[in-house]
């Protein structure tokens, strides 16, 4: 299904989104890994509380949540830094620019918050995600623990 970017809306997470957002993210993880250890995702049990000090956005198409992404404060840097987490797009809507729109919105929030740097990571074997971040403008800063780490100056 080809969609127009004008039809996609980005908005903050609402508590009533809890079930749909959790299912979207977990479904994406199962699609990639083939199985899921539910103990590895405790932040998804109460997204509003887990991300209360950050920004959690959803992309919607006709009120259906089709993508997610969050921005949290990264404490390990001397430069004001945000970390992008929980980027996930419904399989039906991938490769249509939805993730780009959502990540761009998170970058704007980061800039407005006063962050100078955004970091993120993904599994080193997840080539589609690596390509996505590189195409957006992130640069690889290293690989360790099986993950590829990125940064973007804003």
Q: Which fold has domain 5-153?
A: Aminopeptidase (3.40.630)
| pLDDT tops 60 at residue 1 | no
| pLDDT tops 80 at residue 3 | no
Give per-residue pLDDT as tens, 35-48.
988 789 999 999 99
Domain ranges of the chain: 5-153
The dihedral built from the CA positions of residue 77, 51, 36 and 59, taken in this order, carries a sign that is negative
If DSSP codes are grouped into helix, strand and coil, which group holds residue 89?
strand
Grade residue 4 by pLDDT with cuts at 50, 70 and 90. Answer: low
Give per-residue pLDDT as tens, 59-116.
999 999 999 999 999 987 789 999 999 999 999 999 999 999 999 999 999 999 999 9
């Amino acid at each position: 299904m080809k969609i127009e970017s004008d039809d996609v809306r980005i908005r903050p997470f609402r508590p009533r989104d809890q079930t749909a957002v959790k299912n979207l993210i977990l479904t994406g993880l199962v699609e990639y890994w083939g199985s899921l250890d539910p103990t590895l995702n405790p932040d998804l049990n109460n997204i509003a509380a887990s991300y209360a000090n950050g920004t959690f956005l959803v992309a919607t198409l006709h009120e259906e949540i089709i993508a997610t992404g969050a921005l949290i404060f990264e404490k390990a840097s001397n430069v004001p830094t945000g970390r992008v987490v929980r980027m996930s797009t419904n399989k039906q809507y991938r490769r249509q620019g939805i993730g780009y729109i959502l990540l761009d919105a998170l970058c704007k929030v980061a800039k407005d918050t006063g962050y100078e740097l955004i970091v993120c990571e993904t599994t080193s074997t997840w080539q589609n995600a690596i390509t996505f971040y590189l195409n957006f403008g992130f640069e690889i800063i290293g690989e360790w623990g099986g993950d590829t780490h990125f940064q973007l100056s804003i």
